[in-house]
Chain A
Amino acid sequence: MKLETKITVETRSPVEFVKHFAIEVEEKGTRIEFESPLFASYLGKLPGNYVAGAGVWDGFTFKVPRNGLPFTDWYLSYSAGLFPSEGDLPNFIWLFEDGFLKTGKLSILLPIPLAPNDLEDYFSQAMDRFRGAYLNKLRMIRLSASMVDLAPPKESEKKDE
């Protein structure tokens, strides 16, 4: 049996994908602030069982279908320029918690310092990617996906066909 879900998010132009983004080194670590009501709205429309708010990098999946959803966890981490290499920087697992879905705002504290030149690099990379994502109008203006149940049909269903 196939399940198909279409999710469409249409936005007016001008579009604000990321309303606010900040990185700051504080006394207890590096804080990342991220605000995207658009992205929260998009995530909120996904069926619940397709959003896994798991607490580990490898554990999160969107069960990406053939058409592809642009905003997988990997993509967003990539967008922010924060790569989870050698466990030094966690991923955006918090992004998919209820709080973000309701407010579109995220504030996380990573228990590490950043060298000033790293801070500049991460920030610049993130801004470049956010602008790149915005400029891809096909994605920003209409986001749609078909979620397909990839389980093979049962034998009885095959005979009926």
Chain B
Amino acid sequence: MSRIDKVGFEIEGGWDGKKGVSPFSDISLIADHSINGQTRAGAPAIAAVHVGEAVSKPFPYDPKEPWIEWLSSHWPNAVPPHRTNRTCGFHIHLSTKSMKDYSLLASKSFLMELKETMEAEGKAIKLPKKHVFWERILGFNTFCPLDFDPAEQMKVSRKGGRNRYGWLNFSWTLHKTMEFRALPTFRDAAVALRFTLAYLQFVEEWLEANQTLSLRREASLSL
């Protein structure tokens, strides 16, 4: 049985379609000023009919087919140079069935091992050195720095503030989720899906392997 309860996705990018009409029947794109389409460091601007963020509903983690299909069908589809740039992020939210598992994920060892796993995945599919993936996964992107402050993130009760712009965002009070923010909006949906499956599988395996980690502190005073 899986330890992940639900998953959800936020995809920033550009879509084709009719102006003024949502490209999707189930959602409307959300305006996101962090992806304003301006050229940065030589990256092409997003010149698409629709520019914004596609946000999914929470899906049960199992079965996987519904959310895999959603990702594929809602991935940015503007002409390739204009569907994404280095300002566009792909964020994955997950919730856990157990609060202990949520707390375990808020450990530095999880973050560091996840980073190693993602780097290995990037090397396995031979992403070019200049690919924006490396900038984000190594913590050099301003919207997903490798800061680590889960305790404060978990207490945030309203949107806004820089605290949530971490590599991981433990959005407990707002959404009861952990948000992985380090992936870019890849040009191809298939690549995004590969990283998504690798990430979620890693979470499952890491939680299974670390159940014996103690989250108990106790003492008796006898003076």
Residues of chain A whose beta carbon lies under 8 Å from any beta carbon of chain B: 14-30, 33, 85-86, 88, 111-121, 123, 127, 130-131, 134
Establish whether residues B106 and A18, one from each chain, have CB atoms under 8 Å apart when the complex forms: no
Establish whether residues B106 and A120, one from each chain, have CB atoms under 8 Å apart when the complex forms: no
Establish whether residues A115 and B106, one from each chain, have CB atoms under 8 Å apart when the complex forms: yes
Per CB-CB distance, the 6 closest pairs between chain A and chain B, nearest first, are A22-B218, A24-B216, A118-B151, A123-B217, A25-B215, A115-B106
Find A22's partner among B102, B170, B217 (CB 8 Å cutoff).
B217
* B residues in contact with A24, CB < 8 Å: 215-218
Find A88's partner among B170, B173, B219, B222 (CB 8 Å cutoff).
B173
CA distance A26 to B223 in the complex (A): 30
Establish whether residues A114 and B103, one from each chain, have CB atoms under 8 Å apart when the complex forms: yes
Residues of chain B whose beta carbon lies under 8 Å from any beta carbon of chain A: 98-100, 102-104, 106-107, 150-151, 154-155, 157, 170, 172-173, 215-223
CA distance A38 to B5 in the complex (A): 44
Find A120's partner among B99, B102, B217, B223 (CB 8 Å cutoff).
B217
* B residues in contact with A114, CB < 8 Å: 103, 151, 215
Q: B24 to nearest A CB, angstroms? A: 34
Q: A35 to nearest B CB, angstroms? A: 8
Q: B208 to nearest A CB, angstroms? A: 15
CA distance A20 to B98 in the complex (A): 26
Secondary structure type dominating chain A contacts: mixed
Establish whether residues B215 and A116, one from each chain, have CB atoms under 8 Å apart when the complex forms: yes
| A14, A113, A114 interface centre (most CB from chain B within 10 Å) | A113
Residue of A nearest to B170 (CB): A115
Task: A23-B217, A115-B154 given; name 7 further pairs at CB < 8 Å.
Answer: A20-B220, A23-B218, A25-B215, A26-B99, A27-B99, A115-B106, A118-B150
Q: A113-B154, A115-B154 are in contact. Are A25 and B100 (CB under 8 A)?
A: yes
CA distance A60 to B173 in the complex (A): 26
* A residues in contact with B157, CB < 8 Å: 86
Q: A80 to nearest B CB, angstroms? A: 12
Establish whether residues B217 and A119, one from each chain, have CB atoms under 8 Å apart when the complex forms: yes
CA distance A27 to B150 in the complex (A): 18
Q: A39 to nearest B CB, angstroms? A: 12
Q: B40 to nearest A CB, angstroms? A: 33
CA distance A58 to B99 in the complex (A): 28
- A sample of 25 cross-chain residue pairs with beta-carbon separation below 8 angstroms, ordered by A number, consists of A14-B222, A14-B223, A16-B221, A17-B221, A18-B221, A19-B220, A20-B218, A20-B220, A21-B220, A21-B221, A24-B215, A24-B216, A25-B99, A26-B99, A26-B100, A27-B99, A86-B157, A112-B172, A113-B100, A115-B170, A118-B150, A118-B154, A119-B103, A119-B215, A127-B219
Q: A104 to nearest B CB, angstroms? A: 13
* B residues in contact with A131, CB < 8 Å: 221
Q: B137 to nearest A CB, angstroms? A: 22
Find B223's partner among A16, A112, A115 (CB 8 Å cutoff).
A16
